[in-house]
Amino acid sequence: AQSVTQLGSHVSVSEGALVLLRCNYSSSVPPYLFWYVQYPNQGLQLLLKYTSAATLVKGINGFEAEFKKSETSFHLTKPSAHMSDAAEYFCAVSEPNYKLSFGAGTTVTVRA
Amino acid sequence: GAGVSQTPSNKVTEKGKYVELRCDPISGHTALYWYRQSLGQGPEFLIYFQGTGAADDSGLPNDRFFAVRPEGSVSTLKIQRTERGDSAMYLCASSLSQGAGELFFGEGSRLTVL
């Protein structure tokens, strides 16, 4: 069985500061890993995905994530937060079939 | 539009009523998924279609929930005898193929059961 744990349900950062969202996964096989973002009253949008190529994955809006097998982690970072980054972020894992398992989500607040 | 379309965007119903939620996937996407998202939680898998057939319905919570995709495109999620606990956002997603293909999500149908 596969699962995802997101550490911290809420993260508050100052504009211009580093954004770090933590995600740990469990999977019995090499996983595919995803980060999705959800803005208020909108559907989920893919930020980036890891599918066993480069361990450092770059996504949209300046976000990136690093796959660390030894730590079973896939943390999401952005060097400098922008007000528009305020949203809810979901980490998800998929074994090589089709079913995504999502974490509980982390809400990001950006302070001016 | 080019994205996944879900209707209605909001549905308020009374306990015990029947509800249908519709999903129109991106044209050409053979895989279609339904997820349910309760407040403060991540989306939970309900059912997956590959073409017209339900390849995996293991996430449907009970036999009050049913989904169809008769022509391999539009899908309808049907909920009978709704209960207050069914209140949630129901998300539909589609993808070109299974596996590592990106899922494209609709904006969801918010169901409120009074």
Please report which confidence band the pLDDT of residue B39 belongs to, taking 50, 70 and 90 as the band edges. Answer: confident
Please report which confidence band the pLDDT of residue B61 belongs to, taking 50, 70 and 90 as the band edges. Answer: very high
Of B45, B55, B107, the CB nearest to A100: B45
- Least confidently predicted of A47-51, B6-10, B64-68, B73-77: A47-51
- Quick: pLDDT tens for A34-73: 999 999 878 899 999 998 778 899 999 999 999 999 999 9
Are the Cβ atoms of A32 and B100 closer than 8 angstroms?
A: yes
Q: Which pLDDT value is given to residue B40?
A: 84
Q: Which pLDDT value is given to residue A96?
A: 58
Are the Cβ atoms of A42 and B91 closer than 8 angstroms?
A: no
Q: Which pLDDT value is given to residue B102?
A: 79
CB A41 within 8 A of CB B108: no
User: Is the pLDDT reported for residue B99 higher than 70?
Assistant: no
The predicted model gives B6-18 an average pLDDT of: 97
User: Is the pLDDT reported for residue A86 higher than 70?
Assistant: yes
Are the Cβ atoms of B41 and A104 closer than 8 angstroms?
A: yes
E strands in A39-105? 44-50, 56-58, 64-68, 73-78, 87-94, 101-102
Average pLDDT, chain A: 91
Q: Which pLDDT value is given to residue B96?
A: 83
Cβ burial of A34 (10 Å; 0-12, 13-18, 19+) is buried
Are the Cβ atoms of B99 and A101 closer than 8 angstroms?
A: no
What is the distance between the alpha carbons of residues B51 and B8, in angstroms, rounded to a whole number?
A: 23
If you count residue pairs, one on A and one on B, with CB atoms under 8 Å apart, how many are there?
A: 61
Which residues are CB-contacts of B27 (< 8 A; sequence separation ≥ 6)? B73
Q: If we measure between CA atoms, which residue out of B18, B15, B57, B42 comes closest to residue A103?
A: B42
Residue A51: its chain B contacts at CB < 8 A?
100
Of B42, B45, B102, the CB nearest to A103: B42
Of B43, B50, B102, the CB nearest to A46: B102
Q: Percentage of chain A with pLDDT > 90?
A: 71
Q: Which pLDDT value is given to residue A97?
A: 60
User: Is the pLDDT reported for residue A7 higher than 80?
Assistant: yes
Closest CA in chain A for residue B102: A46
CA B22 distance to own-chain centroid: 7
User: Is the pLDDT reported for residue B100 higher than 60?
Assistant: no
What is the distance between the alpha carbons of residues B40 and B113, in angstroms, rounded to a whole number?
A: 18
Q: Which pLDDT value is given to residue A22?
A: 97
Closest CA in chain A for residue B10: A41
User: Is the pLDDT reported for residue B79 higher than 60?
Assistant: yes
Any A CB within 8 A of B41 CB: yes
Please report which confidence band the pLDDT of residue B84 belongs to, taking 50, 70 and 90 as the band edges. Answer: very high
DSSP β-ladder status, A10-14 and B75-79: unpaired
User: Is the pLDDT reported for residue B1 higher than 60?
Assistant: no
